[in-house]
Amino acid sequence: MPLVLILVETGLELIPNQIRTHPAVKKNINNKLYSSQLLDNAIHHSAMKKLKNFEKRGRPDIAHICILNALGSPLNKSGYLDLFIHTANNKIFNIKSEIRINRNFNRFKGLMAKLLIDGEIKLSNNSSIIPFDGNLKDLTKQFSDAEILLFSSKGKLVKDYSNIFTADISKNYIVIIGGFQKGTFSNEVLKLSNNIISISKNSLDASIVVSRIITFYELIHKII
Ligand SMILES: C[S@@+](CC[C@H](N)C(=O)[O-])C[C@H]1O[C@@H](n2cnc3c(N)ncnc32)[C@H](O)[C@@H]1O
């Protein structure tokens, strides 16, 4: 089975009704422009302070870099990656391996807003983003006998990457990385596994962790 990577609690959502009348939000919304419908901390910062858990929300930039890193990896190009995005509002999407994600951030925001409004992006079979109907627990249950690894700076420090994955390619792994800037995993995420791993003495950006974990997996399985 490919490596299953789930980016959890990612700050991807449409601008909530609660702040749509705030001046900082109103002046930037254009109903004809998908990208302007997405919550973005860089634009809506002052309005977002009212929102619960605001520090974890409105970060499409984090999702963008993580998705580009994951889909651009040799692992994905070899067909060994299965990528999922879980949002702060508990929506889950499977990003198919061959989809071309635009490097332009505004175009990416437009695509994500369209995804959240329409519920899916269908281009062709392997070039689509499709919803998963269920919660994170349901998703992990789809992959039989998979070992679930949570990555967090608060986990047990593993100094040697070869101790994270075994060389047996038939062993199934689900890797969980937070798609947010600050804070810790929710209880729903923490309940998924007791295996919490840290790969550095420092708290790293999610995109760095995505790249490193994929690289560790590639090295151990000689995928180049
Ligand atoms: C910017 S961090 C979130 C902040 C959080 N205080 C932390 O360090 O885990 C985004 C994600 O990157 C991963 N991460 C960050 N530092 C890590 C580390 N040293 N080891 C493993 N994963 C890490 C975690 O999955 C985290 O949820």
- Degrees to nearest 5, angle at CA 161 with 93 and 87: 20
Ligand 1 center to residue 26 CA distance, Å?
33
pLDDT digits (tens, 9 = 90+) for 163-214: 999 999 899 999 999 999 998 999 999 999 999 999 999 999 999 999 999 9
Q: In what order do the strands lie in the sheet with 81-87?
A: 121-124, 127-132, 92-95, 81-87, 3-10, 173-178, 147-157, 196-198
Query: Backbone phi, then psi, for 146, in 5-degree steps?
Result: -85, 140
Of all protein residues, the one whose alpha carbon is nearest to atom 17 of ligand 1 is 153
**No. of H helices and E strands in the chain?**
8, 8
Ligand 1 center to residue 59 CA distance, Å?
15
6: its two tokens = 């789930």
206 lines ligand 1 (CB under 6 A): yes
Q: What is the pTM of this model?
A: 0.97
Of all protein residues, the one whose alpha carbon is nearest to atom 10 of ligand 1 is 206
Q: Within the chain, where are the H helices?
A: 23-26, 41-48, 60-71, 74-77, 105-118, 136-141, 187-190, 206-221
Q: Which atom of ligand 1 is nearest to the CA of 154?
A: 9
pLDDT digits (tens, 9 = 90+) for 18-51: 999 999 899 999 989 999 999 999 999 999 998 9
204 lines ligand 1 (CB under 6 A): yes
Q: Which atom of ligand 1 is nearest to the CA of 8?
A: 27
HSE-up of residue 27 (Cα within 13 Å, Cβ side):
6
